[in-house]
Amino acid sequence: MTPVLVNHTVDTSAFIIRDGDKSIVYGGDTGPTDELWTRINALDDLQALMMEVSFPNDEAQLAHDSRHLTPQTLGAELDKLTQSDELPILLYHIKPTFEQRVLRELASLRGRNLQILQLHEEFIL
């Protein structure tokens, strides 16, 4: 497991988790960041990417202040990704109060394999 510092209100890391010849990235709590994408794009064995998306687009100031993502900022971050469009991007950390709005807004992001994680789901590497 390799930590990568990300942009959050407190020291927070994403993690590159490797098992043999396969890896997954757990994005953690983060706002926009560059170093993580540099590290992700260097991986040649990436199986999936877990990323947070917490607030709807009209809560952009709250997301910025708390260093979280909206569907719009997630889309901008995913534009930094050079991995295959087929790469599973597993989304989590949606604030329950905003869930339906965030899901509607995520539907507008095209060209990526976005999947919403549910409680108790597992990803086996």
**pLDDT digits 0-9 by tens, 90-116:** 999 999 999 999 999 999 998 899 999
- What ranges in 6-59 are assigned the alpha helix state H? 35-41
pLDDT of residue 123: 73
pLDDT of residue 8: 87
pTM of the model: 0.92
Neighbours of 27 (CB within 10 A): 26
Strand spans (E) along 67-108: 88-92
Q: Going from the N-terminus, what domains does the chain have, and what CATH number goes with each?
A: 2-116 (3.60.15.10)
Could you read off the pLDDT of 47-95 as tens digits, one per residue?
999 999 999 999 999 999 999 999 999 999 999 999 999 999 999 999 9
| Statement: residue 121 has pLDDT above 90 | no
Query: Is there a contact between 68 and 27 (Cβ–Cβ < 8 Å)?
Result: no
pLDDT of residue 49: 96
CA atoms within 13 A on the CB side of 53: 31
Across 20-36, average pLDDT: 92
pLDDT of residue 25: 97
Distance from C-alpha of 11 to C-alpha of 8, rounded to nearest angstrom? 7
Residue with token string 């409680």 = 119
